Amino acid sequence: MKRIQWLAIAYSTLILIIIYMADLGSPLLRVIHAIPYGDKVGHFVLIGGLTLLINLAVNCHRISIGRLKFLTASLLILVLITLEEFSQLFVASRHFDLGDLAANYLGIVCFSWLALWWQQRQTRETDTAPINAES
């Protein structure tokens, strides 16, 4: 397994731990809420980072829906994160917030573009790399 795939698995595990801690009402996460916009920035960066890593781990696999193409991982993360945010309506220690959902979506979009850019950059570097005459 490639290093990026291991990193994506580890980061996904971290996100699951954070969600679990939030469901338990962890005091550590209350500190983040005390920072102005800390919660929104956290959603943007955490979910954006997840989107970037998973897209890179699956080589920015795309799916077509009609005439539109989407990054498969980005769509999957969008659905899962939406379900997770709405599930907070049923957890006493959590609260549903459209601002959090918007920060998640913005992170997914921005980091999807970053994943595509990174993949294109890597492809160009591979295509223009000099051929080793010794091999």
Under a CB-based contact definition with an 8 Å cutoff, are residues 62 and 69 in contact? yes
Residue 46 is predicted with a pLDDT of 96
- Stated pTM of the model: 0.86
In order along its 135 residues, the chain shows pLDDT tens digits of 689 999 999 999 999 999 998 888 888 777 777 888 888 999 999 999 999 999 999 999 999 999 999 999 999 999 999 999 999 999 888 889 999 999 999 999 999 999 999 999 988 877 776 666 554
Give domain limits for the chain.
3-126
Residue 134 is predicted with a pLDDT of 56
Residue 129 is predicted with a pLDDT of 65
CA angle 76, 6, 102 (to 5 degrees): 35
